[in-house]
Structure 1
Amino acid sequence: MITTPNLLSPGRRQFLQQSCVGIAALTVLGNPLQALAASQSSSGSVKKTGLQLYTLRDMMEKSVADTLKLVAGVGYGDVEFAGYFGHSAADIRKLLDANGLAAPSVHVPLEVLRSALPQVIKDAKVIGHQYIVLPWLSEEQRGDSVDNYKKLAVELNGFAKPIKDAGLQLAYHNHDFELLPVKGGVPYDVLLGETDQDLVKMELDLFWAVKAGVDPLKLFAANPGRFPLVHVKDMAKDGAMVDVGTGTIDFKAIFAKAEQAGIRHQFIEHDNSNNRITTIRQGYQALSQVLKNI
């Protein structure tokens, strides 16, 4: 069990300094984020702006409790976990409840799904997750052809059955490599075509899809209802990842097709932000405005 750093530790002091800067900035803004949060709460969970906590992984390592408090203070209603940082499922649930947050989904590595699926399901039920998401494949797990993806599709269907029996849903999160041709075809086509569409849903990472030259709207049209989760990340003209609302991806057009896609939850994410506070504030404001107007 990893304990939260004590109040006098350097890591804790650094975290609190960063948090105070962020909260002070919100005060200067005259609480527009709270107003957006209130409008989202009244319009239902489909409209909530969520945050993938991988964005704040360095802060999560220092203090999960303080990170969740910060996230709630910005206005987020949903969070998606990428690890519990040594905390039990019961601890995580208490922290979420204390901050008025929900955690519809969690990222779980393939090796953990293979070795500890019953525990993953048990923890998910305690915390309140609805979706268990496979987030990443190592180069070894991918292979150099579609053959490994055909095997993975069978495996995903297998994982998905006990997950479904528990009242939960399995999903797959993409990067760009699944959307690029390899020997024998396009891996993402295999995953879409050879997994049961009711058992295995998709969490579409919008940045990585666009990075691979794939139009999310075409994916939605070809696979309606298959994308209950999306990662909202933006792209600069040079292809770099930037804060949501400062790049070139047309999120208004994408979320205009939310019903067709089946989108239920949307999570801001930035893989390597240079300023975590600015990133989560900017992302919240930008996506909240998009969701408010669809």
Structure 2
Amino acid sequence: MKTNRLMIALLGITLSLGAYAQKVYTYPLGVQAYTFRKQFPQDPLKTLDVIKGMGFTELEGGGAKGMTLQEFKQQCDARGISIPSTGADFGELEKDPMAVIQKAKVLGAKFVMCAWIPHKGNDFTLEDAQKAVNVFNKAGKVLKENGITLCYHDHGYEFHPFEKGTLLDYIIQKTDPAYVSFEMDVLWTLHGGGEKMPVKLLKKYPGRWKLMHVKDLRKGIVGDLTGHTPAVNDVPVGTGQGNWKKIIQLGKKAGVEHCFIEDESDNEMVNVPLSISYLKSL
């Protein structure tokens, strides 16, 4: 009897420790190519070797100078790096979505993200948001018909107040969920919307978030609606304002499929390994 009780007690402790040690960050390691914007133009193959060496198996990007898209894809494949997402300019989506589709298919990307809506200065208006909704709905439909999902990447300037929410709320609510999804850039969400905004948006719009830029904003920085901040304010993930355990947990529930570390600092070769180490510790 005592032996059975001891075994049950030990089993309970084991299960408790297993639950306690359950990993939060279980996504494949992904990185945004802009992180290595200084390295790619110098030597794209060496840069891909660095990316592989850091342990990344997913890349969000669109090729490199001096290489065709086919060659870039082949070099990524040779290193075990897939390209689930690539970028597209707003003007490309507006004028020639089929060209965007062709590029994405060469790279093997299932997602296309747009990271900027054109507007004058720091004044992002309702008219700008309305135009974006129109372009995203039309282009998103064409992309979806060709097996690709369009995602808009927020950039902080969309948090201008509008009615009972913001212009980002307007864009999310007015775009068709069948054709338009979103990529949350956590730094810009913090910068434009405040410390609680990433968690709030993931809870508010489940199913709309498919991608995430894992990027942290320096503690103590009060953001604004410019969509710009000095590079020094981009810090290793886990050292800034992001509530990362909550963000990753809610991201999974909301439907985020791929996460990409992005570092816009001038210290990416130091910061990125620190971000990887932190995410692995979650």
User: Which category describes the TM-score, using the shorter chain as reference length?
Assistant: 0.7 to 0.9
| Alignment partner of 1:161 is 2:153 | no
Q: Which amino acid aligns with 1:130?
A: K
Which of 240, 249, 253 in structure 1 is aligned with 2:242? 249
Q: CA 1:195 to 1:79, structure 2 compared with 1: closer, same or farther past 3 Å?
A: same
Q: After TM superposition, where is structure 1 displaced by more than 6 Å over at least 4 residues in a row?
A: 182-185
Partner of 1:57: 37
Partner of 1:120: 100
Structure 2 distance, partners of 1:280, 1:179, is 28
Deviations 1:174-221 (A, max 9, x none): 111012326996220111011001210000011111122152222122
How far did residue 105 of structure 1 move?
0.6
Q: CA 1:276 to 1:245, structure 2 compared with 1: closer, same or farther past 3 Å?
A: same
Structure 2 distance, partners of 1:218, 1:97, is 37
Partner of 2:154: 174
Partner of 1:234: 216
| Alignment partner of 1:215 is 2:193 | no
Deviations 1:205-258 (A, max 9, x none): 111111221522221221111111011111222222211122231111111113
Which of 261, 279, 284 in structure 1 is aligned with 2:254? 261
Structure 2 distance, partners of 1:80, 1:103, is 6
| Alignment partner of 1:276 is 2:276 | no
Q: Which amino acid aligns with 2:207?
A: G
How far did residue 268 of structure 1 move?
0.7
Match runs of 1:5-16 below 5 Å: none
Structure 2 distance, partners of 1:167, 1:82, is 18
Partner of 2:55: 75
How far did residue 83 of structure 1 move?
5.4
Partner of 1:102: 82
Give the structure with the higher percent helix.
1
Q: Which amino acid aligns with 2:84?
A: P
Which of 123, 135, 150 in structure 1 is aligned with 2:130? 150
Residues 49 and 287, structure 1, Cα contact 8 Å, conserved in 2: no
Q: CA 1:76 to 1:141, structure 2 compared with 1: closer, same or farther past 3 Å?
A: same
Q: Secondary structure at the match of 1:90?
A: helix
How far did residue 56 of structure 1 move?
0.8
Q: Which amino acid aligns with 2:148?
A: L
Greater Rg, structure 1 or structure 2? 2
Structural RMSD (CA):
2.3
Structure 2 distance, partners of 1:174, 1:101, is 26
Residues 93 and 136, structure 2, Cα contact 8 Å, conserved in 1: no
Residues 142 and 149, structure 1, Cα contact 8 Å, conserved in 2: no
TM-score normalised by structure 2 residue count: 0.80
Provide the identity percentage: 30
Count of residues paired in the alignment: 246
Residues 124 and 157, structure 2, Cα contact 8 Å, conserved in 1: no
Q: Which amino acid aligns with 1:75?
A: G
Partner of 1:37: none
Q: Secondary structure at the match of 1:47?
A: coil
Question: Please, which runs of 5 or more residues in structure 2 have no aligned partner?
Answer: 1-22, 222-232
Structure 2 distance, partners of 1:84, 1:200, is 27
TM-score normalised by structure 1 residue count: 0.77
Structure 2 distance, partners of 1:163, 1:251, is 31
Q: Secondary structure at the match of 2:132?
A: helix
Q: Which amino acid aligns with 2:280?
A: S
Structure 1 distance, partners of 2:144, 2:61, is 20
Structure 2 distance, partners of 1:156, 1:47, is 27
